[in-house]
Amino acid sequence: MTQESDRRIKIAVQKSGRLTEHSLDLLVRCGLLYSRGRDQLICYGENMPVDVLLMRDDDIPGLVQEGVCDLGFVGRNIVEERRLALLAEHTPVEFEQIVTLGFGHCRLSFGVPETMDFADIRSLEGMRIATTYPAIVADFLRREELAATLVKFSGAVEIAPSLGKADVICDLVSSGSTMRAHHLREVATILDSEAVLIARPAAERTQHAWIERLLQRLQGVLQVKESKYIMLHAPRSALPRIAQLLPGSEAPTIIPLEGREDRVAVHAVCRENVFWETLEQLKEVGASSMLVLPVEKMLF
């Protein structure tokens, strides 16, 4: 009988779309080497018991919900839509959003024809709203105690008003140019979204050492992006002020300098980028010989 920890992990990633490249890149930076199957739908992990299933993004929460996949990279908009749809049909939700990934940013917003009078959200009362996110919009309308009719679309929502199929739309926006091109005005945002990692509930995922290991590496990879290693010399007396100036650093290492009682070397990992302004402020309090280095890997 195979142990749970011997089982290969399955991760769902969007097959081809806005999230594909970033998601696969994160897995590679977690150390995964993979080869792509002949059908192009599965990437087989060569150095970890991890396989990546390439799927349509809309199917990813369902695959984790059903336990086919352990983890999934997907937009919060899709996760939230599926979560609310499951709740509406009284089905227990068996996935959790565990990490925000910092790419795929967009927002779910109402767009109204440029010529429409729109004072505030109450103007939606009685309207026909076209959307591919019926569960999120329905939840919003319920919370705002608004009565409106949902018109479900599977794509190209922005043409619904000009076709006479709806009065307003609720759709994803990033630059805003699609709405503008269709003479729609973005009037209110109901969800801010970015790519997230979803997983089976904690009680289940913690059973598998490789899932835990991968999650730890992922935290390290995400943390590393902005992190810098800074080295400098400074007067001992300025150490409290220097600690305040170093962005997001914890417990810097202090090293004595040979033959110098008053000055020390300070090494610290900063969890945020170190800007020129910071270096100039450090110089003002007596720091010298400052070096800022990129960090390649981190593990906590």
Q: Judged by CB under 5 A, how many residues of this single chain contact Zn ion?
A: 2
Please tell me whether residue 94 binds Zn ion under the rule CB under 5 A. Answer: no
DSSP, residue by residue, the chain:
---GGGSPEEEEEESSSTTHHHHHHHHHHTT--EEE-TTSSEEEESSSSEEEEEE-GGGHHHHHHTTS-SEEEEEHHHHHHHHHHHHHTTPPP--EEEEE-S-S-EEEEEEEETTS---SGGGGTT-EEEES-HHHHHHHHHHTT---EEEE-SS-GGGHHHHTS-SEEEEEESSSHHHHHTTEEEEEEEEEE-EEEEES-HHHHTT-HHHHHHHHHHHHHHHHTT-EEEEEEEEGGGHHHHHHHSTTB-S-EEEEETTEEEEEEEEEEESS---HHHHHHHHHTT-EEEEEEE------
Nearest approach, Cβ of residue 94 and Zn ion (Å): 21
Q: Given candidates 9, 12, 13, 19, which one binds ligand PRT under the rule CB under 6 A?
A: 19
Nearer to ligand PRT, 102 or 176 (CB): 176
Please tell me whether residue 57 binds Zn ion under the rule CB under 5 A. Answer: yes
| Binding characters for ligand PRT, 22-61, by CB under 6 A (x = yes) | ----------------------------------xxx---
Please tell me whether residue 58 binds Zn ion under the rule CB under 5 A. Answer: yes
Stretch near ligand PRT under the rule CB under 6 A, chosen from 94-102, 168-176, 197-205, 210-218: 168-176
Nearest approach, Cβ of residue 19 and ligand PRT (Å): 5
Nearest approach, Cβ of residue 105 and ligand PRT (Å): 6
Nearer to Zn ion, 58 or 94 (CB): 58
80 binds, among Zn ion, ligand PRT, none (CB under 5 to 8 A by kind): none
Q: Judged by CB under 6 A, how many residues of this single chain contact ligand PRT?
A: 21
Residues in contact with Zn ion by the rule CB under 5 A: 57-58
